[in-house]
Structure 1
């Protein structure tokens, strides 16, 4: 595999239009008729011109930006950084039709370093992007934080998006996400079982909540978490990996009402327990993803060096979903802004695409 660069031999055959917007369960479809800018998710941070140029016009301008002796990186940021996923997919189709070369391959050939990583991830179909991130997470040594990626993919978006990711994963890598997670030597039980259950789940997308079930399962969670038993034992895995998000929110509300403290606060107190930390990540991704992604951005910046992969992943994956909410959480928790920290820790065109996706503070 090729790091941040997308393995086009693997993903080129994934249809770019048929899996879009499953990621954005709260966002209506966008179009080219002037509706694009108005129908973005209210919590999306990107801005889209209204009306946007046609896919053909955008493709032609991208071609101009990459021809000749140098590449006009700012032009690429201005075009692709201000288009929705559906619009970027249309541009990709138009580009390949006009020039007989995939747009992603062009970006790989013309760009470099972290800027190339951010631009290629941003330009990809969201399901194919998450499939690639999951594939890397299952093969990358260096700590349990790579499990964050799998939890994000499974819990921080819609059930239909996870189905789309699993299809994209099979198409790209000739194996299933669930099987690869089960066979991954990097994760040990019970964390491995937890991750497998999360990535193989399909949660009911309805709004119905069973109050009695929420009360009973809040008691089960308390017995496992607060009583210092195994935080990822069978009952916890079953509840967190199978219940709908509204049902889980009700369960966590019962937990706090009955026991005086939110479950994530209890888990936060067990800082030295990796399994508690992973369960807290899942709870946040399921009910308050802005908390998790604010933490990802902060942890990627603080300390020696910058974790560009994590920083890119958080900003690219949430820019069309809820990055406004992430920025608000970040400001409250860390008393600074995402923009200020990104400016202080990045540079060049890489900084340019990140700031474009972050949008105004």
Structure 2
């Protein structure tokens, strides 16, 4: 890798003012390869490649809505990436709080990873992530759920229990669709704060087994409000991540969501996690490859370097997904 790494660093240096060419070189690199390139570039040119890319994003509203901003985050270590995404999600000066980005982080990362995200967040921004979440204004139902999820990473046990899952499923039913009126928020928040994500996944699976339908179906009552709407998003993310992310990506591609950065954020955060499963879920639900949807005339992504980068990310795992489906 040493010789090819040096050669690629020379190409990157020559293309440093052309984000599209940088993207072509970097998009298919693994986290280890990106780290090696970053270190080699520093040794050769005395500048952090990630910082170089960050400079190209200054003045932009939302770093994830441009190829320069996306590449900057792509070159960060995974922990750094999550810390920056968390800060941008909480930065209300640019827009309203991006609750989905925060939920995806606390649902989709292991507790050991979450601890390191908090450390990276403190080091980079001199702020406590938990405190920033607790200070979200104005109050929102998503905030209650996020606080519970933050607590769950501190309090849960590593092992999962079928017995606890069945008991929690029954409690959710008894304080939800099993009685008139809105669901009991206190019970839901207690369960979310005391159980691990794998344990919660098993609980929602048990709910479907016992009552014959997904827990989210019970949250579609017309009399329910914002808390139930927020809870439905969280449950979907916990119970069936590939389907949740496929729907999120489709909504972003078609311009159905407010946050223009959803697409790049999800593509990069799940790239080395479960993108092959997301690709299969996307194809099953929408009858096409994700890269095809991005390039359709109805797509909300204008042609250019940014779309080329996203398409390359999508096709990075497309072949694997097709082979496994």
TM-score over 0.5 for the pair: yes
Alpha-carbon shift at residue 62 of structure 1 (Å): 1.2
Question: In the TM superposition, what whole-angstrom CA distance separates every residue of 1:86-122 from its partner, at most 9, and x where no partner exists?
Answer: 2212211221122111112222345787111221121
Matching residue of 1:17: none
- Secondary structure of 2:139's counterpart equals coil
- Secondary structure of 1:202's counterpart equals helix
1:327·1:337 contact (CA, 8 Å) conserved in 2?
Answer: yes
Alpha-carbon shift at residue 169 of structure 1 (Å): 0.8
Matching residue of 1:215: 166
Question: In the TM superposition, what whole-angstrom CA distance separates every residue of 1:7-62 from its partner, at most 9, and x where no partner exists?
Answer: xxxxxxxxxxxxxxxxxxxxxxxxx6xxxxxxxxxxxxxxxxxxx96543432331
CA distance in 2 between partners of 1:305 and 1:258 (Å): 34
Alpha-carbon shift at residue 249 of structure 1 (Å): 2.7
Does residue 65 (structure 1) correspond to residue 12 (structure 2)? The answer is: no
- Secondary structure of 1:258's counterpart equals helix
Alpha-carbon shift at residue 295 of structure 1 (Å): 1.9
* Structural mapping, 1:158-169, within 5 Å: 158-169=110-121
Does residue 78 (structure 1) correspond to residue 24 (structure 2)? The answer is: yes
Matching residue of 2:306: 350
Question: In the TM superposition, what whole-angstrom CA distance separates every residue of 1:191-213 from its partner, at most 9, and x where no partner exists?
Answer: 3232122134326574x332221
Unaligned runs of 5+ in 1: 1-31, 33-51
Structure 1 residues 331 and 259: CA distance shift in structure 2, 3 A = same
Structure 1 residues 191 and 314: CA distance shift in structure 2, 3 A = closer
* Structural mapping, 1:263-278, within 5 Å: 263-268=215-220, 273-278=225-230
Question: In the TM superposition, what whole-angstrom CA distance separates every residue of 1:300-343 from its partner, at most 9, and x where no partner exists?
Answer: 13247985311111111111111121122122223333112211
Does residue 100 (structure 1) correspond to residue 46 (structure 2)? The answer is: yes
Does residue 246 (structure 1) correspond to residue 198 (structure 2)? The answer is: yes
Equivalent residues, number: 304
Structure 1 residues 191 and 236: CA distance shift in structure 2, 3 A = same
Structure 1 residues 199 and 90: CA distance shift in structure 2, 3 A = farther
Q: What TM-score does the superposition give when structure 1 sets the normalisation length? A: 0.75
2:5·2:36 contact (CA, 8 Å) conserved in 1?
Answer: yes
CA distance in 2 between partners of 1:297 and 1:62 (Å): 29
* Structural mapping, 1:143-158, within 5 Å: 146-158=98-110
CA distance in 1 between partners of 2:121 and 2:174 (Å): 36
Structure 1 residues 307 and 236: CA distance shift in structure 2, 3 A = closer
* Structural mapping, 1:119-134, within 5 Å: 119-134=71-86
Matching residue of 1:322: 274
Structure 1 residues 142 and 100: CA distance shift in structure 2, 3 A = closer
CA distance in 2 between partners of 1:257 and 1:305 (Å): 32
Unaligned runs of 5+ in 2: 320-325
* Structural mapping, 1:17-36, within 5 Å: none
CA distance in 1 between partners of 2:116 and 2:244 (Å): 22
CA distance in 1 between partners of 2:134 and 2:256 (Å): 33
Aligned partner of 1:90 among 20, 23, 36: 36
Structure 1 residues 143 and 101: CA distance shift in structure 2, 3 A = closer
1:191·1:232 contact (CA, 8 Å) conserved in 2?
Answer: no
Question: In the TM superposition, what whole-angstrom CA distance separates every residue of 1:231-256 from its partner, at most 9, and x where no partner exists?
Answer: 47222122223322332232222211
Matching residue of 1:174: 126
- Secondary structure of 1:225's counterpart equals coil
